[in-house]
Amino acid sequence: MSDLLPIVGEFSHGFDTEDERMRIHVALAQVQPNEAAHGNVYDVLPRMKQLLCSASELGADVVVFPEYFLTGSSHEAWRQSHTHDPLDSFSDVPVWLEDIRCMAREFGTAIVTGSAVLRHANKRASPLYNTTYFLDARGDIKGAYTKRNLWHAERAVLTPATDVSHPKDEYPPVFMFETRRGLRVRASMLMCWDLMFPESFRRLFVPPGCDQQLSELDKPNEWTGPDIVFAPTCWYADDSGTEAQVWNKDCEAACLDAICVARAMENECFDHRIPRPVDWVGQV
């Protein structure tokens, strides 16, 4: 195990085979976005592979990478995205995603890729979107999510997804995957500032009495939706500014702790987010 990858926490294992099968082991890769890559995902992939190797050795079912891990979090990095695999349409996926799919197959681990800023169409004036993907342990693309609620610093450069640009029928909010022990799980993805809005979660669920079933695990006359929501974030401890830090130096952590608990209880689901860009693999 590399000394560059300190491990915090440990997986909780079941008392017997069935109890263990019903658990999902999630590793959180808390890594700083690589601003030096200037939006080039290929410069980041060796680091991703190193982290996946460590998490796989620990028995992780899913490894979650943070927001902006793939292309960096600076405005300049986002603007450079037009030089790296621009997408011709919303239905296409970036070329570099195939490399990450190969990693998922190699390590037998599902991956929340962390986000990349993507330009749809090879034109500098085309909108930039912040998008993350979910790959299962076979390397299949099970889900994709584009951020809908932008933090104020993002709004000058990025475009939020809407029901018009990213309709539900083309971008299903709920997908299914299977762990290495055969547990099938319904999952969704959000991103960072989306957590602040209860409606971000509400759109993931369908109330009883509706004909729509989001997955084969859903039952008639019951609420349907995800069992777990993955929410990659790039959230810094000083985002609130110096004045807020004077009042409470831990205000950002307190905010995240509060909203994650609130959203999980409101929607009766698990919520995984990565708040701080520090190098370690945490286990849940």
What are 103-161's pLDDT values in tens digits?
Answer: 999 999 999 999 999 887 656 667 889 999 999 999 999 999 999 999 988 999 999 99
Look up the domain containing 264 and give its range.
237-272
pLDDT tens profile 223-275: 778 889 999 998 887 777 778 778 888 888 888 888 888 888 887 765 555 44
What pLDDT does 284 receive? Answer: 38
37 and 112 assigned to the same domain? yes
222 and 248 assigned to the same domain? no
Q: Is residue 2 part of a domain?
A: no
The DSSP output letter for 163 is T
pLDDT tens profile 192-224: 999 999 999 888 887 766 666 556 777 777 777
132 and 171 assigned to the same domain? yes
Q: Is residue 137 part of a domain?
A: yes
Q: Is residue 146 part of a domain?
A: yes
30-67 in b/e form (b: 16+ CB < 10 A) is: bbbbbeebbbbbebbbebbbebbbbbbebebbbbbbbb
Q: Say how far apart CA 159 and CA 157 lie, in whole Å.
A: 7
**Which three-class secondary structure state does DSSP give residue 207?**
coil
What pLDDT does 110 receive? Answer: 96
Q: What is the CATH number of the domain that holds 213?
A: 3.60.110.10
3-state helix, strand, coil in the chain (%, to 5): 30, 20, 50
